[in-house]
Amino acid sequence: MKKLFVLMLLATLAFAQSYKEFAAKQGYETDYKTAIAKAKMEKKDLLFVLVANYCPWCKKLEKRRLSKVQMNDLIHKKFVPLILNREEHDFPKQFESPVIPMIYIINYKDEKIEKKSMGFVEISEALKKL
């Protein structure tokens, strides 16, 4: 039982680090206040991706969808991208979700949700929603 706990803890820590690596590589913000300030300055809406340590679909969304050059270019052209781990970060309560991954498009003027997409989506669906 102790070995299983240690293994689960290591897996959780490894995934927690991977979203930060994804953010650094893809140019995503990792702090809500910084991201919304940047969005207001650039007059772009915020694309907010909410993930969790234990979520395999979150990792797949990062690697198979958001990392694609076409998708990443579109995101950076239209939005200020933000990715947060819901277990590690503070963010406004209105963005809490029992379903992950969750993608929100947030209006930079009033910080209200314009659109949201839950779960792992196909790239064609994601491009249509954006």
The model's pLDDT over 32-86, given as tens digits with 9 standing for 90+, comes to: 999 999 999 999 999 999 998 888 888 888 888 888 888 889 899 999 999 998 8
Evaluate if residue 6 carries a pLDDT over 60.
no
Task: Say what the pLDDT of residue 122 is.
Answer: 60
Task: Say what the pLDDT of residue 2 is.
Answer: 56
User: Domain locations in the chain?
Assistant: 2-129
Alpha-carbon distance values, 26 to 62, 78, 102, 112, 130 (Å): 10, 15, 18, 25, 17
Share of the chain above pLDDT 70, in %: 78
Evaluate if residue 97 carries a pLDDT over 50.
yes
Q: What is the mean pLDDT of residues 11-28?
A: 70
Task: Say what the pLDDT of residue 1 is.
Answer: 58
Task: Say what the pLDDT of residue 96 is.
Answer: 84
Task: Say what the pLDDT of residue 127 is.
Answer: 56
Task: Say what the pLDDT of residue 130 is.
Answer: 55
For domain 2-129, give the CATH superfamily. Answer: Glutaredoxin (3.40.30.10)
Evaluate if residue 12 carries a pLDDT over 70.
no
Mean pLDDT rounded to a whole number for the chain: 80
Contacts of 58 (CB under 8 A, 6+ apart): 19, 51, 52, 100, 101
Handedness of CA 45, 72, 27, 121 (dihedral sign): positive
